[in-house]
Amino acid sequence: MIKAKKIIREFKPDIAIGVGGYASGPLLRAATSAGIRTLIQEQNSYPGITNKILSSKVDRICVAYEGLEKFFPREKIVLTGNPVRPEMTKLEGKRERAIEHFKLDSNKKTLLVIGGSLGARTVNHAVQKWAETWNKEGIQVLWQTGKGYFETAKSFSQGMQDTHVCDFIKEMDYAYAAADVIVSRAGAMSISELCLVKKPAIFVPSPNVSEDHQTKNAMALVIRDAALLVKDIEANEKLGETVSGLFRDEKKITQLSANIAGMAQINSAERIVSEVMNLLK
């Protein structure tokens, strides 16, 4: 707090913004004590400790999910969503280029599996167990493994024409455009992107996060019938049939797509900036 107060005193900000990390706690508290305008942004459906502590002191709270009145003062909350990469909102007309880019078969359904840049061990193990079954069912797999699992997956998938392995996918807009169904962790930013992508999603929340917030993020969609959830501990056994069952159920695919699209928050970055500018006025 002493160091934070010194920074605020020397820098003399017009506004201080926090996004939930523990390091933002002392600086935002110092800013509120100095009478400086403050805003926090909560990315998850279940707030972290830092934002909970700060909420009574700050001027504005930008949130990505409805129903956070039970954690924050209602009069300070503005529903803005989370800022996402702008190319994620512009997928129309990209499928053909995406199929060509990843060397996929345009006549087959595509499952996209993303576990983050570092991969997701449980998800990778489950995909390795089920990929051959999915391929036999006419489902091609675009699988982002993360760097640590890439060589294992590459060796496993040799000779498997319909399992395409990448350590990291830079062109995520192409990956989303190619996908018919997406398997993903349930981080706040991933969910915000997938709502805008409007594709059916199966979430496998990471258990290695504070306060199990990925499960809470996923459940915010599951209870609205906007996504499916497979627990991390059950992924090896249940992910295979969950994926296969969804591909067989066109009605469910349409329903999930429509419901997840209904939860999308557009122009989130601009809306947050607007709140910042309103506070400065």
Check pLDDT > 90 for residue 30: yes
Average per-residue pLDDT for the chain: 94
CA distances 21 to 30, 116, 140, 210, Å, are 15, 19, 38, 11
Contacts of 199 (CB under 8 A, 6+ apart): 176, 179, 180, 181, 182, 257, 260
Worst-scoring range by mean pLDDT, 18-27, 53-62, 88-97?
Answer: 88-97
pLDDT of residue 116: 64
pLDDT value, residue 97:
95
Distance CA 236, CA 152 (A): 17
Q: What is the pLDDT of residue 213?
A: 86
Q: Is the pLDDT of residue 246 over 90?
A: yes
139: alpha, beta or left? (left if phi > 0; alpha if psi -120 to 50): beta
Query: CB within 8 A of 85, min separation 6: which ones?
Result: 172, 173, 193
8-38 burial, b if ≥16 CB within 10 A, otherwise e? Answer: beeeeeeebbbebeeebbbbbbbbbeeebbb
Tell me what percent of the residues of the chain surpass a pLDDT of 90. Answer: 86
> Is 259's pLDDT higher than 90?
yes
Mean pLDDT of 8-21: 96
DSSP 67: -
CATH class as words, domain 2-82+266-280: alpha beta
Could you give the CA distance from residue 238 to residue 130 in angstroms, rounded to a whole number?
A: 10
Q: State mean pLDDT over 68-74.
A: 95
CA distance linking residue 137 with residue 234, whole number of Å: 22
- Check: CB of residue 153 under 8 Å from CB of residue 165: yes
Average pLDDT over residues 35-53: 95
Q: For residue 207, what pLDDT is reported?
A: 87
Q: Is the pLDDT of residue 210 over 90?
A: no
Give the start-to-end residue ranges of the domains of the chain.
Answer: 2-82+266-280, 87-261
Which run of H or of E encompasses 132?
helix 121-136
Q: Quick check: 265 and 81 in contact, CB under 8 A?
A: yes
Task: Determine if residue 3 is left, alpha or beta; phi over 0 gives left, psi from -120 to 50 gives alpha, anything else beta.
Answer: alpha
**CA neighbours within 13 Å on the CB side: how many for 170?**
1
pLDDT tier for residue 14 given thresholds of 50, 70 and 90: very high
pTM score of the predicted model:
0.88
User: At the topology level of CATH, where does 87-261 sit?
Assistant: Rossmann fold (3.40.50)
| Residue 35 CB partners (closer than 8 Å, separation 6+) | none
Q: Do domains 2-82+266-280 and 87-261 have the same CATH topology?
A: yes
| pLDDT confidence tier of residue 269, bands split at 50, 70 and 90 | very high
Q: Is the pLDDT of residue 18 over 60?
A: yes
Q: Read off the pLDDT of residues 97-131 as tens digits, 9 standing for 90 and up.
A: 999 999 999 999 999 999 765 558 899 999 999 99
Helix (H, G, I), strand (E, B), or coil: what is residue 161? coil
Residue 209 confidence (pLDDT): 78
